[in-house]
Amino acid sequence: MHRFLIRSIAITGLALACFAAGAAETIRQWQFAPKGETLELALREVEARAPARHEVAVRVRAVSLNRRDLMMVAGNYGRGGTQPNSVPLSDGAGEVIAVGADVTRFEVGDRVAGIFFEDWLDGAPTAAALATARGGNAGGMLSEIVVTDAEGLVTIPAHLSYEEAATLPCAGVTAWVSLFKRGQLKNGDFVLLEGTGGVSVFGLQFAAAAGAKPIITSSSDAKLARARELGAFGTVNYRSNPDWQNEVRALTGGAGVDQVLEVGGRDTLPRALQALGFGGHIAIIGGLSGFASDVPVGTLMGLNATASGIYVGSRADFEALNAFLTEHKIKPIVDKVFELADAPAAFAAMDSGDFFGKIVIRL
């Protein structure tokens, strides 16, 4: 388990009225501070910045963690790396407290969430857009106030709390894009979900709402029981069933699954492909056991299957997800909630794997 260290500082109060009036005010913000060859979490006091003409200031009320954030604090996240003294976390939600003179998308008081890529609004991604992923840079969300381009926000569904909405930008959008945009999920499809982390639990909820048949794996019978309460068609304990792919396939009547959200990586990809049916789709998302370096093209061709590399999605994808959540009144599963000062404990909880759904920090 990684060790997360805190540097303590003196904290002043947050005076939103003064901020809105343009007076200098300080806020609390966690940063990735250099520590030898790695990084540590440091809670710091910084000056709040008023929004420029095209920007919005958001009082962040909640943020959530993803596996990517552990890689960043360990200093080994590949794409874009981690900038020293930058702000952690890509996912957060809050309320608009100030808007720039040219902003028309939002007003003070609107409830919003930041999109994962600040500059990927719609269509195919570009290299420039993918370079704007939040977290490990100035766009991170683990701060009492963030100031961002108004285009980099979406309105959150009215039926969700800030804690629930904070779980959506990475894991929620990833699961939605994997199943619906890339996978073209249909009623009755068998969907394989690996583990009970954020993406997989979202996939379970989305698949069940769409009339599909989700099958989920875990090493915990208690977690599998929770998954059945959320609509799992089938469950498999991979610890007591090392060849879990066979049991998954049996649950489909031998046909194999139509969709896979592949989050496990090197150790799970070969088994997931053995569970995949003809014409199926596998969304390659993560690497909990290390990223798989080779995708067996021959296996995919033999199944007439497709594989998609998924790196979250655009603002338009986030808005489509929000419409789906609103239509089906889906509430994200928040398993643990920490306070701002306890952010290192939230990182440790993420590292332990002992959670179901999402871990949130309340600000």
Q: Which amino acid is at 88?
A: P
Give me the pLDDT at residue 35, please: 83
Average pLDDT, the chain: 90
The token pair at 197 is 């982390």
Q: Which residues of 282-291 are buried (b: 16+ CB within 10 A; e: fewer)?
A: bbbbbbbeee
More confident residue, 265 or 252: 252
Asked whether the predicted pLDDT for residue 334 surpasses 80, the reply is: yes
Return all residues near 34 (Cβ < 8 A) that are at least 6 apart. 84, 85
Q: What are the pLDDT digits (tens) for 107-121? A: 999 999 999 999 999
Stretch 236-241: mean pLDDT: 96
Asked whether the predicted pLDDT for residue 103 surpasses 80, the reply is: yes
pTM of the predicted structure, to 2 decimals: 0.91
Give me the pLDDT at residue 298, please: 85
What the chain holds in terms of domains, given with CATH numbers, is 16-167+332-362 (3.90.180.10), 172-309 (3.40.50.720)
The token pair at 114 is 């930041």
Find the range with the poorest average confidence among 73-82, 175-184, 212-221: 73-82
Asked whether the predicted pLDDT for residue 19 surpasses 70, the reply is: no
Q: What are the pLDDT digits (tens) for 41-84? A: 999 999 999 999 999 999 999 999 999 999 888 876 655 567 77
